[in-house]
Amino acid sequence: MRPTGRLHLGHYHGVLKNWVRLQHEYECFFFVADWHALTTEYEHPQSIEQAVWEMVIDWLAAGVNPGAATLFVQSRVPEHAELHLLLSMMTPLGWLERVPTYKDQQEKLKEKDLATYGFLGYPLLQSADILMYRAGQVPVGADQVAHIEITREVARRFNHLYGREPGFEEAVAAAIRKMGKKQARVYQDHRRKYQEQGDEQALETARALVLGQQNITLGDRERLLGDLEGGGKVILPEPQALLTPASKMPGLDGHKMSKSYGNFISLREEPDSVDEKIRRMPTDPARVRRTDPGNPEHCPVWQLHQVYSDDQTRQWVWEGCTTAGIGCLDCKKPVIDAVQAELEPIRRRAEEHARDPDLVRSIVADGCEEAREAARATLEEVRTAMGLNY
Ligand code: SF4
């Protein structure tokens, strides 16, 4: 997650609740993407530091548990930069230029000059972040799937280029020659059919041919089977996107909850302010007077009832609103109570952590150490595969 400072209910319902669940189901790495923030905030890097700590406090307050998951800050694991650099050598420029968010973001953030090298490379930095931990799954929203796809392509290309031992191609050619002319031709035809057209039957025939060879060694056989499936060793496994359902949490005006729209309730919002913000929420404009009936479908408060209320309460709202049986303040009361109940323990834990910055720093320092250990192991293999361990 990019360091955006204090988080709000949109982050909680859209991301953090999901993390809290995932941390008990998988081995998880959650990190503050501070270098990613630099790709757009490079003119004001001073604002990033505070945003990092505020955000980590909110993670902890929301229930992200350093005992269950590894929490770290990207820039404190400099191995990410080295992997990014090494991957950049073999990543075609066109792959990055075609990432849909590249042009979109440049359009959206017109006030910033994003015609930079760092901004173009940002999806590749993200690929390095993922591949570093050999992640099987990456929790993302639908808008990030293209980034996982490019990560898969980068991994595939890396494995193809460097997952083979030196002299692999020559050894395969020699093994094919040992098959004899006729058998070698049949093998190559079938290999081509599988690799170019994905013909599984051809793969089976070619594999049977290799297994039936008497003239080749065991090593030749393994190389041929590896070559047949287009690979060698998998050094960087291809990750999958773990799609998270879109958050239903609306902002106070019914649009997406966002800091830039000013329609949010922060996780550390004071009770009086929560009360005030929900009381002032706009409702169905048809309810000018208390006696005018309304339509919940035209009201953002109704969307909050979808998140916080049970069927019975929602039925009470629907009937009361459409018959003018209840007023809007009556209707908002159960939402206010539910938001207060949800935020109370989060606010309390956040205050505890805010009072103890040393503890927060030491949690992050431990996480960075853990992450570095995993990162070093991957980089060691990457360097060896590329012949850079001299
Ligand atoms: Fe909205 Fe509730 Fe008022 Fe109906 S009664 S307009 S749902 S706040």
Q: How far, in Å, are 81, 133, 227, 304 from residue 96 at the CA level?
A: 17, 22, 29, 39
Average pLDDT over residues 225-248: 82
| Domain residue ranges of the chain, discontinuous segments joined by + | 9-162+238-248+357-386, 168-228, 268-354
* Residue recorded with tokens 């901004």: 119
Compute CA 306 distance to the chain's CA centroid, rounded to the nearest angstrom. Answer: 26
Provide the ipTM: 0.99
- In 3-state terms the chain splits into helix, strand, coil percentages (rounded to 5) of 65, 5, 30
**Centroid of ligand 1 to alpha carbon of 321 (angstroms):** 6
Atom of ligand 1 nearest to the CA of 284: 6
Average pLDDT over residues 266-282: 97
**Centroid of ligand 1 to alpha carbon of 338 (angstroms):** 16
What integer pLDDT is reported at residue 230 of this predicted model?
Answer: 65
**Which residues make beta-bridge pairs with 71?**
30
pLDDT score of 231 more than 70: no
Q: Which residues contact 360 (CB under 8 A, 6 or more apart)?
A: 53, 56, 57, 60, 353
pLDDT tens per residue, range 344-366: 999 999 999 999 999 999 999 99
Output the DSSP codes for 231-279.
Answer: -S--SSPPPEEEEPPPP--B-TTSSB--GGGT---BTT--HHHHHHHHH
What integer pLDDT is reported at residue 92 of this predicted model?
Answer: 95
pLDDT tens per residue, range 290-311: 999 999 999 999 999 999 999 9
In whole angstroms, what is the distance from residue 15 CA to residue 279 CA?
Answer: 26
Select, from the ranges 1-15, 89-103, 237-251, the one with the highest average predicted confidence (pLDDT). Answer: 1-15
**Centroid of ligand 1 to alpha carbon of 287 (angstroms):** 8
Using a pLDDT cut of 90, give the percent of the chain over it: 76
Q: What is the CATH number of domain 268-354?
A: 1.10.240.10
pLDDT score of 226 more than 90: no
Q: Name the CATH topology of 9-162+238-248+357-386.
A: Rossmann fold (3.40.50)
- Pick from 288, 305, 309, 331 the residue to mutate for probing ligand 1's pocket: most ligand atoms within 8 Å of its CB: 331
- Pick from 292, 297, 301, 306 the residue to mutate for probing ligand 1's pocket: most ligand atoms within 8 Å of its CB: 301
Q: Cβ < 6 Å from ligand 1: which residues? A: 283-284, 287, 294, 296, 299, 301-302, 317, 321, 326, 328, 331-332
pLDDT tens per residue, range 17-67: 999 999 999 999 999 999 999 998 899 999 999 999 999 999 999 999 999
Provide the residue count of the chain.
Answer: 390
What is the residue-averaged pLDDT of the chain?
Answer: 93
**Centroid of ligand 1 to alpha carbon of 283 (angstroms):** 6
For the chain, the distance separating the N- and C-terminal CA atoms, rounded to the nearest angstrom, is 35
Q: Directed axis angle between helix 100-108 and helix 145-162, to 10°?
A: 140
Ligand 1, atom 4, lies closest to the CA of 321
pLDDT score of 232 more than 70: no
pLDDT score of 145 more than 70: yes
**Centroid of ligand 1 to alpha carbon of 324 (angstroms):** 9
- Pick from 288, 302, 307, 318 the residue to mutate for probing ligand 1's pocket: most ligand atoms within 8 Å of its CB: 302
pLDDT score of 233 more than 80: no
